[in-house]
Amino acid sequence: MLKRATCVRIVAAPDRHAVRTREEPAITDPTPDHRSALGLAVRALRHRRGLTLRQLADVLGVSSATLSAIENGKTGVSSERVAHLAEALEVPVDHLFGAGDGPAGAAPPRSVPSVEDWRHLPPLELDAALAGALSSFLEFGYHGATMRTIAERAGLSVPGLYHYYASKQEMLVALLDLTMHDLQARTAAALAEGHDPVSRFTHLVECLALYHTHRRELAFVGASEMRSLEPGARERVAALRRAEQALVDVEVEAGVRAGVFATTRPHEAARAVVTMCTALAQWFRRDGAATAEQVAEQYVDFALGLVRHDPSRAAQR
């Protein structure tokens, strides 16, 4: 069984401030997490097609400010505009993560780290309560952990713990929200550095592998305790996970269309690649034979094999 977390630094949690735009109010989707997932997808796909913000805004018939608000998750989007976005970006609507019909009620994570280099994963800054919850969930599991054990790990009294969070469930949701927003920011940055399907695909695989090794404690809890989430939160976090899967789906399909990936089953190959990377949290050890970076390099090679990448085919094009 995994032991208590060793890679978190305990600091005070910053205040949260909701941000909205006046130009286009939320029409069908008031959920911050859902808007964030949609915005990341739109930005990544726009970069993939070499479009500037103004160019895509002109196609959509909106201002650059409105499109920027969409990409930054600051405004909701109607189902009609989601369809228009999918058409302009040449992807199925479900690749935009079902904006407009996802579960509501999400709150933004208390601390979303900024990403200066997606390959560099410094220790996350967790408040005392979340650090205690993560440690307890790793050792005892969600159902075995109690508010008292969490408080002990956090160095707080039980009443002091309630000052941070109202329940054990709220702490689990906060940890998974932080995990998904951190991962989303990193995969978006990795995609933005790519210039073709192969480079974008390999960047995504490297990013996923690095995340599930450097952030293995969070990833382990995320995988093992999804079943412990209450229905609304579970549906929302599952939608964010599907969003990450869709990013890989898009690049594998693009590689097949470009003739650089020879797999005849791109959907299954993309699913196998993501599953392979997420499983790293189950077995990777920092004191093992290979570093996280070495494992990530190996997994890029494995992933290219799964999609049947042949460099000579690309050279001939």
Q: What is the pTM of this model?
A: 0.67
Question: Residue 195 burial by CB count (10 A; 0-12/13-18/19+): exposed, middle or buried?
Answer: exposed
The fraction of the chain above a pLDDT of 70, given in percent, is 79
pLDDT of residue 314 exceeding 90, the answer is: no
Of 99-108, 121-130, 176-185, 283-292, least confident by mean pLDDT is 99-108
Mean pLDDT over residues 171-191, rounded? 92
Over residues 161-178, mean pLDDT: 92
d(CA 106, CA 89): 27
More confident residue, 38 or 314: 38
Contacts 24+ apart (CB under 8 A), 311-317: 313/259, 313/260, 313/262, 314/198, 314/259, 314/260, 317/258, 317/259, 317/260
* Mean pLDDT calculated for residue range 272-285: 96
| Token duo for residue 7 | 């890679």
The pairing of beta strand 8-10 with beta strand 124-126: parallel
28/131 Cα distance (integer angstroms): 35
Question: In 3D, which of 240, 251, 291, 292 has the Cα closest to residue 273?
Answer: 251
pLDDT at residue 115 tops 50: yes
Of the pLDDT bands very low, low, confident and very high (cuts 50, 70, 90), residue 236 is confident
Q: With bands split at pLDDT 50, 70 and 90, how would you rate the model's confidence at 99?
A: very low
What is the mean predicted confidence (pLDDT) over 152-174? 92
| Mean pLDDT over each residue of the chain, to the nearest integer | 81
- Stated as kind and residue range, the H or E segment containing 92 is none
Q: Give pLDDT, residue 15.
A: 34
Higher pLDDT, 112 or 195: 195
Percentage with pLDDT > 90 across the chain:
47
CA pair distance 26, 100, nearest whole angstrom: 10
On the question of pLDDT at 70 being above 70, the answer is: yes
